[in-house]
Structure 1
């Protein structure tokens, strides 16, 4: 049960790490990460519960995963593992009965500040009859719960490892550009995607696209065993073009290492005639697997569980389109790590 601004199940805001660990029966994964100003997060129960601690090591936020996390209920409303539209409707009804204001957070999901609740979503997974897991085409709800006076976007940025102050916010809807209205881009593995090439500086990328970034993320590298370093640029988000440029800084100077093409609005690219952008994930995966089998090629699975052809440095993710999702590919250099 959720006791708003006080407790989430056995976890009470203000607990220390050892108390949280004991409340969760010692299910600490080890590890965690801190920020330059002393906030840090720690995963528990195989990452299904993530705790956020402030500079004084007090628990101020709890994120519960959609898959594998505990069910969390507020009154008669289940918050975790739900179809987003159904959960939203019930949350709005409960908020109306309680006189609480519902706004929209940066991810486009309901935020109820009076309850310290900020809803999020994750890709849904299922299990095949033979026991293997499979990525579905749908998304389900997860949530972040915070202590009083703790902004949910600050807690989320601690978990994500970057500053969200310049991150583009979703207004709460997910329109998809029809395929025949998308520009067509060519790409050469390890070299270029459309008009931009790997190794470019942020200024060169913006010039090639003819567009200034609408938002960007970055972070101060700070782990428990390291000292704070120079703030480094992670991504530039180009709203009009429909891509996100991802940078690495091997010598302190950012250079383009990966490009994510936005599944809802980005240009279309093909792999041997197979469209990669804005496609139902299961349909795209079936086409990729069939192509690999027909041409006796290698197949690999990305960390997110998606099948991809071996060789072209292509990562196939998915992005939300309401209750469902569409494909969102990332093209990357040889030494890029996810």
Structure 2
């Protein structure tokens, strides 16, 4: 999707990504996305995390193919919405402090994010995939293929009592490759 055609969402670390607030129920998140003209797949149970069920919902623009997901949301029991993944190719552009986070070459985002983290006295952290991320900001960039190019697919999370770090917070299927 062309950059100019992407919806623009703001990011407030550990609180919200666009219309989605961490802690929302599946029903609240689905309602927020439906008002934006998205369609939702059925809620899928991914398994359990301790005593709690882990759920997933995929959202896409109404005109997108059924197998595509622009935004994927993950929930854990009573904590509600705990993780949000935004597709590099067609998801909304998420902006934090003037930094475009989605659909960029990983090296460009790493350079800009590193400069921001250092200028705000935050730790520069290396994700399991080798990218620059931040526990303080609740972001873990992942890569997604776009033909022969890699672009950033952002995973946003809010670790809490159930997950101590962003790596703990991110569901296993987000650690896989995306196309």
**TM tier, smaller:** 0.7 to 0.9
Deviation at 1:269, TM superposition (A): 1.4
- Change over 3 Å in CA distance of 1:206–1:300 after alignment to 2: same
**After the TM superposition, which residues 195-214 of structure 1 pair with which residues of structure 2 at under 5 Å, given as runs?**
195-210=19-34, 211-214=38-41
Aligned to 1:305: 130
1:235 aligns with 2:47: no
1:244 aligns with 2:83: no
SS in 2 for 1:185: strand
Residues 48 and 54 in structure 2, CA contact (< 8 A), matched pair in contact too: no
Structure 2 unaligned spans of 5+: 62-68, 171-179
**After the TM superposition, which residues 60-209 of structure 1 pair with which residues of structure 2 at under 5 Å, given as runs?**
177-209=1-33
- Change over 3 Å in CA distance of 1:217–1:321 after alignment to 2: farther
SS in 2 for 1:288: helix
TM superposition outliers: structure 1 runs of 4+ over 6 Å: none
Deviation at 1:294, TM superposition (A): 4.3
SS in 1 for 2:40: coil
SS in 2 for 1:239: strand
Mapped partners of 1:255, 1:325: distance in 2: 31
- Change over 3 Å in CA distance of 1:220–1:266 after alignment to 2: closer
Deviation at 1:192, TM superposition (A): 1.3
Residues 215 and 238 in structure 1, CA contact (< 8 A), matched pair in contact too: no
Q: Normalization by structure 1: what TM-score? A: 0.41
Aligned to 1:276: 101
Instruction: Find the partner of 1:255 among 80, 84, 88.
Output: 80
Mapped partners of 1:207, 1:221: distance in 2: 24
Q: Higher RCO, 1 or 2 (CA under 8 Å, sep at least 6)?
A: 2
Q: How many residues align?
A: 153
Mapped partners of 2:70, 2:147: distance in 1: 18
SS in 2 for 1:317: strand
Structure 1 unaligned spans of 5+: 1-176
Q: Which has the larger radius of gyration?
A: 1
SS in 1 for 2:7: coil
Deviation at 1:291, TM superposition (A): 2.9
Aligned to 1:86: none
Residues 46 and 56 in structure 2, CA contact (< 8 A), matched pair in contact too: no
Q: Normalization by structure 2: what TM-score? A: 0.74
